Amino acid sequence: MSCIAIITARGGSKRIPRKNIRPFCGKPILAYSIEAALQSGLFDEVMVSTDDEEIAAIARQYGAAVPFLRSEATSNDFATTADVLTEVLDRYEALGRRFDTLACLYPTAPFVTAEKLRNALTTLETSGGESVMPVVSFSFPPQRGLVLREGSLCYQYPQYANTRSQDLEPVYHDCGQFYFCRTKSFRQCHSLVTPHTVPLVLPEQEVQDIDNLSDWALAEMKYRLMTGREGATQ
């Protein structure tokens, strides 16, 4: 079974400038996704999709392929991840290369490890699913959430107001780190979320959305806890 890892790393970043290559605990954050993919030994190709020459150079420095840059159509603020992946698959097919399975890795995912990638692919193969999504459970049950209406707080779901937390169904959200998908299913759905997406549940301490500098600092602290490393470089 042939497999490609596609790391999506556009140059434009509004909230954290040059986010995809900003130093994270001593090296560009993009490097973590590249190294995890290479170390996993799963992939026939580990490539970075970017529109930015500096990102491309750093990607190559850490061992990823960058055989082409993105088109204008997939470099703007409105292009979806699915659009980017489709373009990559099309370009490789034009070169005579087809892949049975694809993994999409985000460039700001330092918690991705070779072991997690191997576990995800094993899950895909043994579950009979079409795709795998790493997820994490909400730390507080969303069924007990509050909303503000006409200046006053009230339960969004009042039927659960007196239900014990342990009696509520667990609810999960996307970790925003990586995905595995059978290429045929992705082509049919134009999405990494398919009718049969199965989970890879991760611990909360190894998940962090990074949208601002506070998130970044928190992610570095979590990363040091996960790896036992001391210190961080900005």
Q: Give per-residue pLDDT as tens, 49-71.
A: 999 999 999 999 999 999 999 99
Q: What is the CATH number of domain 3-137+173-227?
A: 3.90.550.10
Strand partners, 24: 27
Spatial distance between the Cα atoms of 204 and 90, rounded to a whole number of angstroms: 36
Record the pTM: 0.92
Q: Give per-residue pLDDT as tens, 108-148.
A: 999 999 999 999 999 999 999 999 999 999 999 999 999 99
Spatial distance between the Cα atoms of 112 and 36, rounded to a whole number of angstroms: 6
